């Protein structure tokens, strides 16, 4: 996964050891990304338009970039644009990114100061689908993987209209793009599962793919470039998570905190009161092996 030497200058500073937070939807990526964003010296973006466009283009059409060097340039260009700090650079930011920066709705102003800026990062949703390309684009990048009980992840996904919109018949593109990591489809059995499974089962396919990706990255990337956090541990001990992130990045990182409107749902095993028995059965059928391997019995 090595790449040729590169030099990227943003805000008159060379980009070195950028930190990218990846994981399945609603696995805790946002909370960890916000913690990094609030840490001194970090400029972390969450869902910048340029990055989202690149991520979803590659995620939905892996054949566009697989084995092509041009994809690396697209990734670098997207972040070079996203990380720019100007007086109006936050106008187009996502609500999550603006909220993490403490900007009020409609407020104009940058979310980071150039003075003291030392590190860059990103916690854009679905960034996992570009994980290998991130390492190729930024050979010294550090990846933080967040893993969460797949049943809690599925419960959150089912309540997210943005996530579920990808499953509209007019949007699903498994027939034209196969295998299709975006839907967790790697073989014919998975494609068949996408047909018979409930919405919960379809979401379980995406979670299962993220877990398998995590295992592949663990084997391919040195320990100094990859840190895996378990979401339940982050919720149970934010201070411990902050210490682990600080040691990994070499920068003092703030403690991750779940947004107020999600605290009641962020508790471990909240799926027990949010999923039906048939939904749990579908998840078990599709991702039971991965759940048990990760200790979610």
Residue 79 lies in a domain: yes
Residue 264 lies in a domain: yes
Q: Which pLDDT band holds residue 139 (cuts at 50, 70, 90)?
A: very high
Residue 74 lies in a domain: yes
Residue 194 sits in a domain whose CATH number is 3.40.50
- How many structural domains comprise the chain? 1
Residue 249 lies in a domain: yes
pLDDT at 97: 75
Angle CA(174)–CA(22)–CA(228) in degrees, nearest 5?
125
Residue 271 lies in a domain: yes
Q: Can you tell me the mean pLDDT for 210-234?
A: 94
Q: Which residues pair with 185 in a beta bridge?
A: 180
Q: Can you tell me the mean pLDDT for 232-245?
A: 96
Residue 190 lies in a domain: yes
Q: Which pLDDT band holds residue 185 (cuts at 50, 70, 90)?
A: very high
Residue 3 lies in a domain: no
Are 154 and 271 in contact by the 8 Å Cβ rule? The answer is yes
Threshold 0.85, pTM exceeds: yes
Distance CA 74, CA 53 (A): 10
pLDDT at 70: 76
Q: Which pLDDT band holds residue 116 (cuts at 50, 70, 90)?
A: confident
Distance CA 64, CA 62 (A): 5
Residue 1 lies in a domain: no
pLDDT at 3: 46
- pLDDT digits 0-9 by tens, 68-79: 677 888 999 999
Ramachandran region of residue 197, left (φ > 0), alpha (ψ -120 to 50) or beta? beta
Are 36 and 44 in contact by the 8 Å Cβ rule? The answer is yes
Question: Is residue 283 packed enough to be buried (19+ CB in 10 Å), middle (13-18) or exposed (0-12)?
Answer: buried
Between 72 and 28, the higher pLDDT residue: 28
Whether 263 has a pLDDT exceeding 60, the answer reads: no
Q: Which pLDDT band holds residue 2 (cuts at 50, 70, 90)?
A: very low
> Which domain range does residue 232 map to?
9-293
Angle CA(124)–CA(255)–CA(158) in degrees, nearest 5?
45
């Amino acid at each position: 996964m090595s790449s040729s030497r590169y030099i990227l200058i943003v805000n008159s500073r060379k980009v070195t050891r950028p930190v990218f937070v990846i994981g399945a939807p609603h696995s805790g990526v946002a909370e960890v990304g916000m913690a990094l964003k609030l840490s001194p010296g970090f400029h972390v973006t969450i869902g910048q338009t340029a990055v989202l466009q690149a991520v979803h283009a590659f995620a939905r059409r892996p054949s566009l970039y697989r084995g092509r060097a041009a994809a690396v340039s697209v990734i670098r260009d997207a972040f070079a644009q996203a990380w720019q700090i100007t007086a109006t650079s936050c106008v187009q930011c996502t609500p999550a990114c603006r909220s993490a920066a403490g900007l009020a709705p409609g407020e104009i102003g940058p979310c980071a100061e150039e003075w003291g800026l030392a590190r860059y990062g990103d916690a854009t949703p679905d960034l996992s689908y570009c994980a290998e390309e991130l390492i190729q684009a930024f050979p010294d990048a550090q990846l933080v993987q967040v893993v969460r009980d797949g049943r809690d992840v599925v419960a959150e996904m089912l309540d997210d209209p943005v996530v579920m919109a990808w499953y509209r018949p007019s949007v699903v593109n498994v027939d034209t793009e196969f295998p299709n990591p975006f839907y967790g489809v790697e073989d014919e059995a998975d494609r068949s599962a996408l047909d018979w499974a409930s919405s919960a089962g379809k979401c379980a396919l995406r979670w299962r793919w993220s877990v398998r990706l995590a295992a592949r990255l663990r084997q391919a990337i040195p320990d100094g470039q990859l840190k895996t956090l378990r979401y339940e541990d982050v919720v149970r001990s934010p201070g411990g998570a902050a210490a682990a992130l600080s040691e990994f990045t070499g920068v003092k990182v703030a403690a991750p905190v779940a947004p107020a409107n999600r605290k009641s749902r962020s508790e471990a095993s909240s799926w027990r009161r949010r999923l039906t028995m048939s939904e749990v059965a579908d998840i078990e059928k599709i991702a039971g092996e991965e759940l048990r391997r990760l200790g979610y019995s």
